[in-house]
Amino acid sequence: MNKSIRAIKKYPNRRLYDTANSGYITLADVKQMVLEHIDFQVIDAKSGDDLTRSILLQIILEEESAGLPMFSSEMLAQM
């Protein structure tokens, strides 16, 4: 992994561990990293699989479910 990319490990208990800060973080923290344009990669601690996309989709789903749409219906239809 590139050293300029922050590594986040996802454990089987669904907790996210920020290796740069040596501590557990929440999806809200990951969202803040996105907003601050911090490059990161979420890796399954057990298998080593890249979970970045699924974590980003989970953030979008939670925002949408909370009534805070991130994308318009038109934009989603174009995807």
* Span 13-29, pLDDT tens digits: 889 999 999 999 999 99
56: Cβ–Cβ under 8 A, 6 or more apart, which residues? 34
Q: Please state the pTM of the whole predicted model.
A: 0.83
Model confidence pLDDT, tens digit, residues 2-58: 558 999 999 998 899 999 999 999 999 999 999 999 999 999 999 999 999 999 999
Question: Could you tell me the residue range of the domain that residue 38 belongs to?
Answer: 6-78
Q: Is residue 1 part of a domain?
A: no
Tell me the C-alpha distance between 18 and 24, whole Å.
6
Q: Is residue 14 part of a domain?
A: yes
Q: What is the mean pLDDT of residues 59-65?
A: 89
Q: Is residue 54 part of a domain?
A: yes
Q: Is residue 71 part of a domain?
A: yes
19-44 b/e (C-beta count within 10 Å ≥ 16 → b): eeeeeebeeeebbebeeeeeebebbe
Counting the structural domains of the chain, the total is 1
Q: Is residue 34 part of a domain?
A: yes
Q: Is residue 63 part of a domain?
A: yes
* Confidence at residue 34, expressed as pLDDT on a 0 to 100 scale: 94
Tell me the HSE value of 71 on the side-chain side, using a 13 A CA sphere: 12
